[in-house]
């Protein structure tokens, strides 16, 4: 079996393989780029592996005129820039010692040994520079069936890095078959090792959960996390019940992690997930507006189209109500509306606090009218 694509045959990428060949080491594409090419979905990151240790990769790439960045050299990884494209090159590895958070690794000369230390079978697919696929652990069959399985013993793989618990749910959401469901042996292993998540950094947990929530439909994975006692461990106070409804209502809207976080609820996520200030503020705004005593028209007028749609979708999901057919027109009208009054229109009769109060009162009447009251009507 072979993979193909412009990303694979690009001269810049082939130049990286030329450099490895010059050092006497065969390079292989590995992981997500191979998996995505086989699935026919876009390839974003190019990961390459070989038996060449980092110093050899650095020397041969530099000799070829390529820029080398030691992004993870202690783990055998360097990034080679070629033609403006980043190529992450990692030496074949084997685990020496693991503690659930990070592994002590040793370099290897065996592709098969490298494959057996990876997480899931569909992520342990390799391809040479021509696209010829090598499958050391049965990943092709699992990928074809959209079946997410750990390599070997799930308990052992999870004990090497507890983040693999969250990665299991994330990869199922993106690549698994919803009709087939989750692998029960893997799910049981995740549930039994859930306490290990407490030892992971907030940044790692937050990044993984946001990737999961950006999947086209994460509702099955999130529901399984809830049933296994994992969701509340990483997202205390969350409730997964409304998420499937939200995903259904989102038809035609891009998946959005912040919107889905607001739907799930949860306490203290800004610190628990190390959310950025922007994401945390957006989640807080959406949660405040869900139950606020204001119409979608007012939300659109004050906050803009994107927030108005978010609130409309969230209210529909959490209150289990359909989105009114008129919502699109309501939002369009609201964002185009311009309040016809200004403070000067009410002066000098009103000043100070009384002026502000009257202006707000008029604006509320104008919004309630569907933005139809004219300046003269408001002044009456």
Average pLDDT over residues 38-56: 95
The backbone torsions φ and ψ at residue 321, rounded to the nearest 5 degrees and listed phi first, read: -130, 145
Same domain, 59 and 175: no
**pLDDT for 96:** 65
CATH number of the domain to which 160 belongs = 1.10.110.30
**pLDDT for 103:** 62
Same domain, 138 and 272: no
**pLDDT for 98:** 62
Question: Picking from 98-102, 191-195, 272-276, which range would have the lowest pLDDT averaged per residue?
Answer: 98-102
Same domain, 100 and 185: no
**pLDDT for 101:** 60
**pLDDT for 105:** 72
Domain limit, last residue, from 114, 144, 174:
144
Same domain, 3 and 130: yes
The verdict on pTM exceeding 0.95 is no
Confidence of residue 97 (pLDDT cuts 50, 70, 90): low
Same domain, 22 and 83: yes
User: How does pLDDT run across 138-155, given as a tens digit for each residue?
Assistant: 999 999 999 999 999 999
User: How does pLDDT run across 102-119, given as a tens digit for each residue?
Assistant: 666 789 999 999 999 999
Q: Which residues contact 317 (CB under 8 A, 6 or more apart)?
A: 242, 243, 245, 246, 249, 263
User: How does pLDDT run across 204-247, given as a tens digit for each residue?
Assistant: 999 999 999 999 999 999 999 999 999 999 999 999 999 999 99
Domain limit, last residue, from 144, 179, 202:
144
* Strand spans (E) along 75-229: 77-82, 85-91, 93-98, 103-107, 126-127, 133-134
Confidence of residue 134 (pLDDT cuts 50, 70, 90): very high
Q: Which residues contact 375 (CB under 8 A, 6 or more apart)?
A: 340, 341, 345
Same domain, 7 and 105: yes
Same domain, 346 and 310: no
Helix axes 257-264 and 202-213, enclosed angle (nearest 10): 100
Residue 286 belongs to what domain range?
237-337
**pLDDT for 3:** 97
User: How does pLDDT run across 312-369, given as a tens digit for each residue?
Assistant: 999 999 999 999 999 999 999 999 999 999 888 888 887 889 888 989 999 999 999 9
């Amino acid at each position: 079996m072979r993979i193909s694509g412009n990303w694979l045959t690009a001269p810049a990428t082939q130049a990286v393989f030329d450099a490895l060949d010059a050092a006497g080491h065969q390079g292989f594409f590995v992981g997500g780029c191979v998996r995505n090419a086989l699935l026919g979905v876009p390839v974003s990151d190019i990961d390459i592996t070989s038996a060449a240790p980092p110093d050899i990769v650095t020397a041969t790439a530099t000799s070829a005129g390529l820029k080398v960045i030691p992004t993870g050299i202690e783990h055998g990884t360097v990034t080679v820039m070629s033609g403006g494209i980043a190529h992450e090159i990692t030496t074949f590895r084997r685990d020496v010692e693991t503690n659930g958070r990070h592994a002590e690794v040793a370099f290897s000369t065996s592709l098969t040994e490298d494959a057996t230390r990876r997480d899931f079978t569909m992520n342990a697919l390799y391809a040479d520079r021509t696209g010829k696929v090598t499958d050391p652990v049965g990943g092709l069959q699992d990928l074809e069936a959209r079946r997410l399985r750990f390599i070997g013993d799930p308990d052992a793989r999870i004990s090497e890095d507890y983040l693999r618990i969250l990665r299991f749910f994330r990869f199922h959401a993106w690549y698994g078959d919803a009709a087939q469901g989750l692998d029960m042996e893997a799910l049981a292993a995740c549930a039994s090792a859930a306490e290990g998540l407490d030892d992971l950094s907030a940044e790692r947990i937050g990044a993984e959960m946001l990737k999961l929530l950006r999947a086209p439909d994460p509702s099955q994975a999130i529901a399984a996390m809830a049933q296994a006692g994992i969701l509340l461990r990483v997202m205390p106070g969350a409730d997964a019940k409304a998420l499937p409804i939200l995903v259904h209502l989102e038809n035609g809207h891009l998946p959005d992690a912040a919107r889905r976080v607001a739907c799930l609820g949860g306490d203290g996520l800004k610190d628990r997930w190390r959310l950025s200030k922007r994401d945390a503020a957006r989640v807080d705004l959406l949660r405040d507006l869900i139950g606020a005593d204001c119409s979608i028209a007012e939300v659109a007028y004050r906050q803009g189209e994107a927030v108005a749609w978010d609130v409309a979708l969230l209210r529909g999901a959490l209150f289990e109500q359909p989105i009114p057919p008129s919502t699109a027109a309501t939002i369009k009208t609201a964002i185009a509306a311009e309040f016809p009054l200004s403070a000067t229109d009410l002066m000098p009769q009103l000043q100070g606090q009384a002026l502000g109060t009257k202006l707000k009162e008029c604006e509320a009447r104008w919004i309630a009218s569907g933005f139809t009251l004219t300046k003269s009507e408001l002044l009456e």
